[in-house]
Chain A
Amino acid sequence: MSTVLLEEEMTDTPAAPARLLSAGPAAPGQEAAWEQFTKIPLPTRTDERWRFANVKDLDLSPYLQPQPVDETTREELLARSRGLEKAAGRMVFANDQLLSREVLSESLTRLGVVWLPLEQALVEYPDLLQQYFMREEAILGGQKFAALHASQVRTGMLLFVPRGIEIDLPVEAFHWLHGANSSCFPHTLIIAEERAKVTVVDYYESADTNAPGLACAVNDLWLGAGAQVTYVCAQNWSREALAFQINATVVGRDAQARSLFAQLGGRHVRSESVSHLRGPGGRSDMLALTVADNAQEVDARTFQIHEAPNTSSDLLYKNSLDDAARTIFSGLIRVDPGAQMTDAYQKVRNLLLSDDAEANSAPGLEIEADNVRCTHGATSGQIEQEELFYLMSRGISKRAAQKLIVNGFLQEVIERLDQPEIGARLAEMVQAKFAAHR
């Protein structure tokens, strides 16, 4: 494995980092986004797209602009960036600064694969960015946060896979949030041309699992005809973090997108995911698993938009809630007038481990074509007493039995990924969360 570390000079940490709200745009090109951010008001309780959400949590005033990390921290975070055993490439960022970029295979570059930190891509491939960077508007209520992201984004990952190229191993990126009240703006842009195939895993981590902080991420996936993209985002921010995540997936003709959002960390997490089924025969699998405890709030909004005929979408979101955790699922399916033979599916399951936990589900349909199949359903339940007794009758403690059952519950989502190594890594992260509980 060849390792390319960026030998950039580390600047000394400035005395006082600026507050985000008074900082202005990150660079001159981002002024318009900043202006938009300041113009759009914070969501209120009466906004339908923020229904059920605790909007009082959204105050951005405590947070600071991201600061570069020192050398010791850098070494520490690199050592902690443990991903898959085998990856095609790995970028590690901390506070929106690229710490390392490890490439397994140079041959991919020769085949035309572009894999660059965003700021470098902006210089070398301005046309690609012009064409794809945040081109789908945030439409599920997060416009203000999308604008904030656009005004603050400094780096991230661009992955362009040209037609017919398949990358066998997953490409990974770590995004670390470091320092109390720090912020970061992770960005992932995947463009897969015709028949290209790739898997990408993002890991969102906090250096200190108790530090307050703000994360505002955007991940966009563009799939050309027949492309296959699997995208996994393992969100494990600190338990005091406020986090936003806005995803757009654009699926071309006969292409297959599969995304999985694992929501483990964060105090208040807002996730918006939109699949545009734009080319006939396209398919999008939208998966998510949430393990929420204490007073965590995980708010997921989804949109399956069938713009072309013969498209399919299949959503499976599973939430496990303990203590006084809250989850929100609000998912819409829309079938445009011309999108005949659409097959849209949506399934949400909530497993409540505590009487104080609260799971809200609000599905919705907007169907303008007549020859379609749309199914949706959301259910909430508790652990079956008989299952618990069965496991306990084998000597397994009540707590261990509950964990086994919750793991089993989430396993369905992990299995849908059909990638055992990534699945095992996710299961490990879930385990770690259980182990740290209370």
Chain B
Amino acid sequence: MSSLKIQDLHVRIGEKEIIRGLTLEIPKGEVHAIMGPNGSGKSTLSKAIGGHPDYTITSGDVLLDGVSILGMEPDERARQGLFLAFQYPMEIPGVSNANFLRAALNSRQSEGEEIEAVDFYEHLYEEMDKLEMRREFTSRAVNEGFSGGEKKRNEILQMAMLKPKYAILDETDSGLDIDALKIVSAGVNAQRGPNIGCLVITHYQRLLDYIVPDVVHVMVDGRIVRNGPKELALELEEKGYDFIKDALAEPVSA
């Protein structure tokens, strides 16, 4: 029951089917990785699970701790404990990071209640320190003018503040230099534990040296084509995606 379960999911953008029967289960307490070539549908999968209105789910289901979330709006899914770290985080002009995070936390309070400002900043600064983010960041507009690395750190900071049950991290390593990668990975690892399930999406094996997954899934053309232990990532790195594509004609399920 305590898992994020994706059952035979089919997703379309417009007329084009991008996710074509994908099954995956991430039990709470585990970290799973999805690896796959560009264009295989990794971002589509994460946004469809998040409830993006452009992505039509034609069949299948997504269950969060046994409850289908497909009928929920994106904000409700988030309040149920889902978190998406975006591959390309949006810039929101004029909205400060502090106000944004407060609004996100307040949305989880009961009607009419608001989080205490002092507690909020204490918590925020603590998490920012872990990610080596400067204080001035709180008053800057969300992601506006941020470097690629700053944007990714900001995603992990939001995850730390919102404490999701399940987090999907979409190419959190892209655009990061090695130092930033270490900091961001440490930020994710610090959040690992029995109360969270993570799905780490990546194109490169490198990230998985730092965030070591329990299970690796390989995704090609909108399906999972292989499952395996963390060593699978190394094999993939060595032989390339073409090897998998050629070797596997039939999809498998996890």
Chain A positions near chain B (C-beta within 8 angstroms):
384-387, 389-398, 400-401, 404-405, 407-412
Query: In the complex, what's the smallest C-beta–C-beta distance from A100 to chain B, in angstroms?
Result: 33
B84 CB contacts on chain A under 8 angstroms: 393
- With a CB–CB cut-off of 8 A, which chain B residues contact A401? 75, 103
Q: Smallest CB–CB gap between A74 and chain B, Å? A: 33
Q: Which residues of A contact B89 (CB under 8 A)?
A: 390
Task: Give chain A's interface secondary structure class.
Answer: helix
Identify the closest chain B residue to A386 (Cβ): B90
Q: Is the CB of A394 within 8 A of B78?
A: yes
Closest chain B residue to A406 by CB distance?
B94
B74, CB-defined interface residue at 8 Å: yes
How would residues 45 to 59 of chain B score, 1 for a CB under 8 Å from any chain A CB and 0 otherwise?
001001111100000
Contacts A393-B78, A393-B84; A385 near B100 (Cβ below 8 A)? no
Complex interface: chain B residues within 8 A of A404 (CB): 92, 95, 99-100, 103
Residues of B within 8 A of A390 (CB): 86, 89-90, 92
Q: Is the CB of A394 within 8 A of B100?
A: yes
We find that the number of chain B residues with CB closer than 8 angstroms to chain A is 30
B108 within 8 A of A: yes
B103 and A400: CB pair below 8 A? yes
Bound together, the chains give a CA A397 to CA B103 distance in angstroms of: 9
Beta-carbon contact of B93 and A408 below 8 Å:
yes
Contact with A along B159-194 (1 / 0, CB 8 A): 000100000000000000000000000000000000
- Across-interface contacts of A393 in B (CB, < 8 A): 50-51, 74-75, 77-78, 83-84, 86
Between B77, B94, B108, B141, the greatest number of chain A beta carbons within 10 A of the residue's beta carbon is seen for B94
Beyond A389-B53, A389-B74, A390-B86, whether A396 also contacts B92 by CB under 8 A is no
Report the bound CA distance from A46 to B5 in whole Å.
65
- The complex places the Cα of A391 from the Cα of B105 at a distance, in Å, of 12
Cβ-neighbour of B78 out of A384, A395, A398 (below 8 A): A395
The 8 closest A-B CB pairs, nearest first, are A408-B94, A411-B94, A408-B95, A395-B78, A390-B90, A394-B104, A392-B74, A395-B107
Q: How far is the CA of A384 from the CA of B142 in the complex (A)?
A: 15
* Residues A397 and B107 in contact, CB atoms below 8 Å apart: yes
A394 touches B90 (CB 8 A): no
Chain A residue nearest to B85 in the complex (CB): A393
Residues of B within 8 A of A395 (CB): 75, 78-79, 104, 107-108, 162
Q: Which of B65-100 contact A (CB under 8 A)?
A: 73-75, 77-79, 83-84, 86, 89-90, 92-95, 99-100
Chain A residues within 8 Å of B73, by CB: 392, 398
Q: Are B78 and A408 in contact (CB under 8 A)?
A: no
Given contacts A394-B162, A404-B100, 11 further A-B contacts (CB under 8 A): A386-B90, A387-B90, A389-B53, A391-B100, A392-B51, A393-B50, A393-B51, A400-B103, A401-B75, A404-B92, A411-B93
B158 at the interface (CB under 8 A from A): yes
Q: Across the interface, which residues of A come within 8 angstroms of B77, CB to CB?
A: 393
> Could you say which residues of chain B place their CB within 8 Å of the CB of A392?
51, 73-75, 78
Give the CA-CA distance A29 to B56 in the complex, in Å. Answer: 72
Q: In the complex, are the beta carbons of A400 and B107 less than 8 A apart? A: yes
- Given A394-B162, A395-B162, also A385-B53 (CB < 8 A): yes
Give the distance in Å from the alpha carbon of A397 to the alpha carbon of B53 in the complex. Answer: 15
Question: In angstroms, how far is the closest chain A Cβ from the Cβ of B17?
Answer: 21
CA distance A387 to B141 in the complex (A): 13
Given A389-B53, A404-B99, A408-B141, A394-B158 contact (CB < 8 Å): yes
Chain B hits for A385, CB < 8 A? 53-54
Q: How far is the CB of B93 from chain A (nearest CB, A)?
A: 5
Whole-angstrom distance between the alpha carbons of A411 and B158 in the complex? 23
A to B CB contacts below 8 Å, 12 in the list? A384-B90, A389-B47, A390-B89, A391-B92, A391-B100, A392-B51, A394-B75, A395-B79, A398-B73, A405-B95, A408-B92, A408-B94
Task: Give every chain B residue within 8 A of A391 (Cβ-Cβ).
Answer: 92, 100, 103-104
Report chain A residues within 8 Å CB of B92: 387, 390-391, 404-405, 408
- In the complex, residue of chain B having the shortest beta-carbon distance to the beta carbon of A415: B94
Q: Give the residues in chain A near B75, CB-CB below 8 Å.
A: 392-398, 401
A417 to B54, CA, bound (A): 39
The CA-CA distance from A407 to B162 in the complex, in Å, is 23
| Most chain B C-beta atoms within 10 Å of own C-beta, residue among A390, A409, A412 | A390
Closest CB in chain A relative to B65 CB, distance in Å? 17
**How near does chain B come to A189, taking the closest CB pair, in angstroms?**
33
Do A396 and B90 have beta carbons less than 8 Å apart? no
Quote the shortest CB–CB distance from A158 to chain B (angstroms): 36
Q: Please give me the residue from chain A that is nearest to B82 by CB atom.
A: A393
Per the bound structure, the CA–CA distance linking A407 and B141 in Å amounts to 12
B141 — which chain A residues lie within 8 A by C-beta? 408, 411
Set B47, B52, B95, B104: member contacting A407, Cβ < 8 A: B95
Residue pair A396, B104 in contact (C-beta under 8 Å): yes
The smallest C-beta distance from B243 to any residue of chain A, in angstroms, reads 35
Assess the B94–A407 pair: CB atoms within 8 A.
Answer: yes
Complex CA gap A391/B77 in Å reads 12
A409 to B50, CA, bound (A): 25
B165–chain A nearest beta-carbon distance, Å: 12
Task: Give the residues in chain A near B93, CB-CB below 8 Å.
Answer: 408-409, 411-412
Q: How far is B75's CA from A386's CA once the two chains are assembled, in angstroms?
A: 14
Tell me, rounded to whole Å, the shortest Cβ–Cβ distance linking A325 to chain B. Answer: 20
